[in-house]
Amino acid sequence: MLARRSVVRTLRQPMMVVPSLLFPLIFLSINSSGLDSATRLPGFPTDSYFDFALAISFVQGALFSANSAGTNVASDIESGFLNRLSLTPLRRVALMMGQLAGILALGLIQAVTFLVVGAVFGSGIEAGVAGALVIVAMSLTISLAFGCIGAFVALRSGSGEAVQGVFPLFFAALFLSSLSLPRDLIETDWFRTVATYNPVSYMLEGIRSLVITGWDGEAIALGFACAGGVALIALTAASSALRTRMVRT
């Protein structure tokens, strides 16, 4: 029931859903036309910048999941709804899983939308239908990772404003990655170093490899490992914060 509630309330907020679809597509459209000449760089993995940039949409969409999850959790704290749930026999684990259901529902809508847009504009998924399913799975894992970060911020701070305040940091992490160029083509040393240590790079590269290359086991494994690792850490942190927030005896 909590999962259902999470999904329903997310989908009943158009201002949560629509920007999370539109903004990444607008960004994709601008970048793929403006940066198309980058494909002429020696070593660029594809001659279509659209194919290269499509992966960005999935990760950007996931950042909106962080905002959505965090805002919903903060709203529950500020309104006292969390207190209401605390007074029921509900276990904390069930509460956390319920909250995450909304994130996954939004993540699924995003993933399918971006795949359809990609197909409409001629981006063939090199890894085929099975690869598309793997892209959806990776996208959901990334959504979960960022969603749990958003939930953690909300549970620690109890404030929707704090969640909004953290949102730009996610975009900074996105831009300091292999967002616009493959890592080996980034000329600036410090930028390349940061991108190499940034788990977002591997999330992008995991999805990108399925679109451009096909079945690159290493890229896919690293993508899942980074997304899954961030998800696990963030989920643990969020669960701990929930334990503190729901201080019922």
Partner 1 sequence: MTEPAIRATDLVREFKKGPRAVDGIDLRVEPGEVYGFLGPNGAGKSTTVHMLTTLLPPTSGSAQVAGHDVLKEGAEVRAAIGAALQEAALDPFLTGREHMKLQTALHGMRGHEARKRSDELLARVGLTQAADRRVGGYSGGMKRRLDLALALVHRPRILFLDEPTTGLDPQSRTALWDEVGRLAADRGVTVFLTTQYLEEADVLADRVGIIHRGRIVAEGTPEALKADIGRPSVEAIPAEREDLPRMKDVLARFGESVTGSPKGASVRLSGGDAQLAEVVRALDAEDIRVEHLQLHAPTLDDVFLSKTGRSLEGQAEEPREPAEAVVA
Please identify, using beta-carbon distances, which residue of 1 and 120 lies nearer to partner 1. Answer: 1
Interface with partner 1 (CB under 8 A):
1-2, 5, 8-9, 12-13, 76, 79-81, 83-90, 158, 247-249
Please identify, using beta-carbon distances, which residue of 7 and 181 lies nearer to partner 1. Answer: 7
At its nearest, how many Å lie between partner 1 and the CB of residue 83? Answer: 6
At its nearest, how many Å lie between partner 1 and the CB of residue 207? Answer: 31
Q: Which two tokens stand for residue 20?
A: 């999370």
Contact 241, 152 (CB under 8 A): yes
**C-alpha distance across the termini of the chain, in Å:** 24
Please identify, using beta-carbon distances, which residue of 78 and 126 lies nearer to partner 1. Answer: 78
Of 117, 126, 89, the closest CA to residue 22 belongs to: 117
At its nearest, how many Å lie between partner 1 and the CB of residue 92? Answer: 13
- The alpha-carbon radius of gyration of the chain (Å, integer) is 18
Please identify, using beta-carbon distances, which residue of 158 and 229 lies nearer to partner 1. Answer: 158
Question: What phi and psi, each to the nearest 5 degrees, are found at residue 160?
Answer: -70, -30
Please state the separation of Cα 128 from the chain's center in Å. Answer: 22
How far is 17 from 10, CA to CA, in rounded Å? 7
User: ∠ CA(64), CA(61), CA(4), 5° rounding?
Assistant: 65
**CB burial readout 122-140, b (16+ within 10 A) else e:** ebebbbeeebbebbbebbb
At its nearest, how many Å lie between partner 1 and the CB of residue 159? Answer: 10
At its nearest, how many Å lie between partner 1 and the CB of residue 136? Answer: 26
Please identify, using beta-carbon distances, which residue of 14 and 43 lies nearer to partner 1. Answer: 14
